Structures are given as C-alpha cells and as structure tokens.
Amino acid sequence: MYQELQGKESTMNKTNKELMGASTAVLILGILAKAPSYGYEIVKRANEESENLFVWQEGTIYPVLHKLEKDDQVHSRWEESESGRKRKYYYITARGREKLREGALAWKGFYQVVLKLAEEPNA
C-alpha cells in the first residue's frame, strides 16, 4: 500500500501531519513495548520502521513522552549509556501496554472503515 502513496507526497503532506498527530502516542508505546529507549533512539526507530512514510524530529516526541509519563503510561529514569553518557530512558508501564492495545485496535478498526469506504464500486 505504501508504494501506492509514493510520488503523491505534496498532496499528502498535510494529511500525514494530521494522522501523525493522532497516532504519535500509540507509535511511541509500540516502540517502547519492544524495548526501553531514550528520545533520539525512539525517533530513529520510528523513522526506520516507517520506511520514509513520515520523518520525526526529536522535538516531536518529548511533549508526548511527558504526557504519557504524567498519565502513567511510561516511566523514565536516567541511565548511563554504553558511551558513558547519561540518557533518560523510557519504559512502558502496564497501563501503557493496555493503552497500546486499545489504540492499535482503534486504528485497525479505523483502517478497515477507510478501506471499505474508499473501495471503488463494481461497475
């Protein structure tokens, strides 16, 4: 499906931003469900997994991470990385896993409705 969207970037730019805004928390929770991570690494993984469907900047995720932490969906702690540098690592909580499941199911349902309504009628 993504290949169908390539080449239509200019018309989809605004739409992608709106969709991304609505799904950033679910995507972050999905990344953290696989492994704890720090900000830059979360951005890097999201960009890699999206295969250029979208590109996040670091500033995109910090307000969302703070909101998720306030809502007890993630918790954080400062740790020393392999390079010796201190980084703030984020961990998904049980509540975060629950919200991830709910969010993924909601997006799956939304996706199915969009496909159903976008189908070409049989002529």
Structural domains of the chain ordered from first start? 16-118 (1.10.10.10)
pLDDT at 14: 57
pLDDT at 3: 46
Contacts of 29-35 with C-beta under 8 Å, sequence gap 24+, read 29/68, 29/73, 29/74, 29/92, 29/96, 29/97, 29/99, 29/100, 29/103, 30/100, 30/104, 32/74, 32/90, 32/91, 32/92, 32/96, 33/92, 33/96, 33/97, 33/100
pLDDT at 1: 44
pLDDT at 98: 98
pLDDT at 15: 53
pLDDT at 21: 72
Indicate the pTM of the whole model: 0.81
Low-confidence ranges of the chain (pLDDT < 50): 1-3, 5, 10-11
